[in-house]
Structure 1
Amino acid sequence: MVELNDVIDDQESPMHTPSESAESTESTVSAYTTQKSNPDPTDGPPEKSKRLFRLIPSFRHDPEDTPDGRFNDLTYESVASYPLGYPSWAAYQNSEPTFRIYKRFGTLRNRVILYRQQELAKLEEKLNELDAEDDKHHNRRIRSLRQDRADKESKRMELIDEIDSKLKHYDDLLERELRSGLMQKPTKRNYRSLVNYLFNRAPVVRSEQLNILKHRDDFILLTGQSESPLERTLDTLICRVPIKWFRRLFSSEAQLDKFDEAKDQHTILTSTEKIEQLARAIASLLAIFLIGVPLYVLASTNFSDRTKLTVLMVALFLFPIAIQIAARPKNHELFAATAAYCAVLSTFLATSGNFNLGQTQFQATSDSTLSH
């Protein structure tokens, strides 16, 4: 999911997503039909085994390999199919959730809010002056809305309507600023991907690129996905591997068809689902290691008490670090998980039966005293 700046040379030929031809589909279907239409009643399997045997081809068969070829002409959207310019730029940002980076225009939004705020402040001051003038002359218009509406010389209702209209627009500005401020910020890696794409492919003129790319802290990322540090690290390492077929293992079929390898050789897409699966596997192994190794040491009689205490302290130190790397916990979740882990290991250490730190030294000292 990155746009690399340097070209990675690879001598392997590009791999294309295989598509089943109509001929292979028909041969598969005909072979399966022949097996079903010519059963041997003498030495066939039992009825339940027959049912299971009939289900096996349905699991192996691709649901899109139909005899009528209804899926043959359906393809994935490709960035290369759009002309170079704003069309290809739009297709690029739509090709991957982490590519949807846009300007927030935070300063511009706040400037508009300040102007509207000043307008409302002047209208409020004008309304207060009108109220003070009516109160000074003991005018009943300030005490009766009916008389205020009936009085043709009164400008209060007209002023109230203007304030109401501007307040609605002002509230809308505040709500939009609040929503845009709560949107996810792109990481440095996300921003570099956008800059590298615009530099490598140059879909728009240089001056228009700089108008958008300047003020790198004024961008938002339109995606609800969030990566753990482990997933980010795995994604970065996979994208930097110079072996093309290895990188393809972590790309989906749709992602392989998104870009033309000849034109967009810098762009590498990785499947979020595959990265998450790899991260889960590593996190599971890490959890087994952090739980299994300390429990083995604490339960074993081959280690001294000081060694057990050392292993316990090291495990308690590594556990919160591993949690923060493999997951995205909140502060209270991290504290609760670490406390539970500490309680489990401490309880196991206390009930292990052979933990007698200090007792051995005391007994040895007593024995030596009695001998004297």
Structure 2
Amino acid sequence: MNEPYRPSSTESVSPDQEKEKPWKYVGYKVFSRWVASDPSFFVLRRFGTLNARVALSLQDEIVQLEEELDYMDKTYSHRDTPDAHNGTFREDPFDGPLDRQELVRVVLPEKLRKYNSFLNSYADLVSRGTCRPKEISKVRNWLRNLRPTAIDGKECEYIDHDDDLISVHPKFQSPGRDFLESIAFGSRFNRDGIPWLRKWFTRKAPKNVVSLNNEGTFWPNDQRMERVSSVVISLAGLAMLIGPIWALAYLESITHRLAVISCFIVVFFVVLAVTISRLYEALAATAAYSAVLVVFLQTGTASSSQLITKAL
């Protein structure tokens, strides 16, 4: 049986030697491959405080130029100043220490271009949002537990800035996918997850990152998890629609019928509130679902009344 490709060390290095000196045989060479192997591992700082400091500094530079331009305009418009045409760019007569034309056409455009470019790039960075705790924990686990000392201690500290971390390639995961992943790979309530389900939802590690201690890293099979998630959500949705119909068919008391409908509405809203970030969307969907159940209730009540009338 062929041994897996191990790019972290040369052929002359034994596993024991690699474990003994990970900083020499692993280092950034393996860590970079591992980070690039899955979007959830590519976590970096956005340096929010430093970006704010730079933005404020650029803003202040422009404010000073704005004040200088206002001073020029007031000076050249004063009644004691020789008459000048302040409504032309082409024949602006003022130059020298107070060159209004150069300020407007050269200095300000360059400063504003730099300021706008910086703000736009940072806005794009901020729009990615903060990292999810489980993404941070994966990287922290590699740095602190799986490969301790492979990366310099000071250079590992970036992973402790939880509120300042972003995913470089954030990938969308459906609520059902998040639920399955928490069950299979573990969560705060079940850290170990379910071994057999985790194995089924895990894909093989990329060849260029296969090396020692990768047994602690799991690469989710995204396609399989999304397919299973779609099936689970579809079945749950059908159950929420078909369940009330069958339940109401066996109940005659209006109180019992209302209790069943209320329970289904509450469950439906709780599920949506947990899986949908916008509360008003969950309320709107719940209102539509409630309207459907009310139709079921009216239909069932009408059928029961007809049966009673016929019996009489």
Global fold match (TM > 0.5): yes
User: Counterparts of 1:256 and 1:147 in 2: how far apart (Å)?
Assistant: 67
User: Which aligned pairs between 1:1-372 and structure 2 lie closer than 5 A?
Assistant: 80=8, 84-136=26-78, 137-140=81-84, 142-148=86-92, 155-160=99-104, 161-200=106-145, 201-202=147-148, 203-210=150-157, 212-240=158-186, 246-253=197-204, 255=205, 257=207, 259-260=209-210, 262-300=212-250, 303-325=252-274, 328=276, 330-352=278-300, 353-355=302-304
1:351 to 1:330, Cα distance in 2 relative to 1, 3 A: same
Could you say which residue in structure 1 is the equivalent of 2:22?
none
Larger radius of gyration: 1
C-alpha contact (below 8 Å) 1:305/1:355 kept by paired residues: no
1:176 to 1:242, Cα distance in 2 relative to 1, 3 A: closer
The alpha-carbon deviation at position 191 of structure 1 amounts to 1.2
1:299 to 1:208, Cα distance in 2 relative to 1, 3 A: same
1:285 to 1:79, Cα distance in 2 relative to 1, 3 A: farther
User: Counterparts of 1:281 and 1:106 in 2: how far apart (Å)?
Assistant: 40
1:281 counterpart letter in structure 2: V
The alpha-carbon deviation at position 303 of structure 1 amounts to 4.7
1:151-193, CA deviations, whole angstroms, 9 ceiling, x for partnerless residues? 6675222222111211111111121222112113211111111
1:156 counterpart letter in structure 2: R
Gaps of 5+ in 2: 11-24, 187-191
Size of the aligned set, in residue pairs, is 282
2:153 counterpart letter in structure 1: R
Q: Aligned-residue CA RMSD in angstroms?
A: 3.3
Between 346-355 and 152-161, the greater mean CA deviation after superposition: 152-161
Gaps of 5+ in 1: 1-13, 18-76, 360-372
Query: More helix per residue: 1 or 2?
Result: 2
User: Counterparts of 2:261 and 2:7 in 1: how far apart (Å)?
Assistant: 54
C-alpha contact (below 8 Å) 1:312/1:345 kept by paired residues: yes
1:152 to 1:342, Cα distance in 2 relative to 1, 3 A: closer
1:110 counterpart letter in structure 2: A
The alpha-carbon deviation at position 282 of structure 1 amounts to 2.2
Q: Secondary structure at the match of 2:161?
A: coil
1:217 counterpart letter in structure 2: D
Identify the structure with bigger relative contact order (alpha carbons < 8 Å, sequence gap 6+).
1
User: Counterparts of 1:153 and 1:277 in 2: how far apart (Å)?
Assistant: 70
The alpha-carbon deviation at position 146 of structure 1 amounts to 3.9
